[in-house]
Amino acid sequence: MYRTAGFRADLEYLLGPNWEACCGSKSPPLKEYEPRLLLAHSYTQHLAMAAGGQVIRRLVRKHLALTEEDAGTDAFEFKGESSNTLRTKFKATLDEWARGLPEEDVRQLISEHVTTFQFQNAIIRAFPIPTAAVVKGVLQLIPRPLLLAVLAVLAAALVLLVAPTVPWVAAAMGWQVLPDAAP
């Protein structure tokens, strides 16, 4: 997905031109990690960035108070192709590559992917997000015409449910409200 240049630009912007020296050498666990299994982490991260990268980009820009356009969040930019196209290509490439692997290797990669996904979800859950912020985020993602259509349907359903019980609403709808029958 050609993210290397974006990550390098972001690290240089955020940590300075000597960012590699700041990060130090590879940790012993990273050196011992099975390189093939890192593909599961890469797969999970890249798909997440392609799926929700623009939302994450906005959050990073806001919370780090970044002022220069795209500076510090270049890794979240997908120039040239849509994120859906990139996700499809990335999945297809990985599927094709995995066809030549022994079944045990595929099982290990899938297991590592599930573990990675669980770790990412645990990290996200560690940051309490107010319900109002979640609702606002979801509303920003829904296309306006679809949102308006859903709201119109919900409003109509509410009127249909409430109108018979509220005389003035029923009268406004032109419905006749029948008095309760005497026992």
pLDDT in tens, 74-92: 887 777 777 788 888 888 9
Q: What is the pLDDT of residue 182?
A: 52
Indicate if 116 and 153 belong to the same structural domain: no
User: Is residue 181 in some structural domain?
Assistant: no
Indicate if 103 and 23 belong to the same structural domain: yes
Indicate if 24 and 103 belong to the same structural domain: yes
Indicate if 149 and 83 belong to the same structural domain: no
Q: What is the pLDDT of residue 30?
A: 72
Q: Looking at per-residue confidence, does 72 or 28 come out higher?
A: 72
Task: Give the pTM.
Answer: 0.53
Q: How many structural domains does the chain have?
A: 2
Indicate if 135 and 152 belong to the same structural domain: no
Structural domain span for residue 41? 4-141
Q: What is the overall mean pLDDT for the chain? A: 80
pLDDT tens string 118-174: 888 887 777 777 778 777 877 777 788 888 898 899 888 887 776 666 676 667 767
Q: What is the pLDDT of residue 170?
A: 65
pLDDT at 25 over 80: no
Indicate if 55 and 131 belong to the same structural domain: yes
**pLDDT band at 108; cut points 50, 70, 90:** very high
User: Is residue 153 in some structural domain?
Assistant: yes
pLDDT at 32 over 90: no
What is the CATH number for 84?
1.20.910.10
Indicate if 168 and 83 belong to the same structural domain: no
Indicate if 135 and 146 belong to the same structural domain: no
User: Is residue 182 in some structural domain?
Assistant: no
Q: Alpha-carbon distance 162 to 60, whole Å?
A: 43
Indicate if 63 and 45 belong to the same structural domain: yes
User: Is residue 183 in some structural domain?
Assistant: no
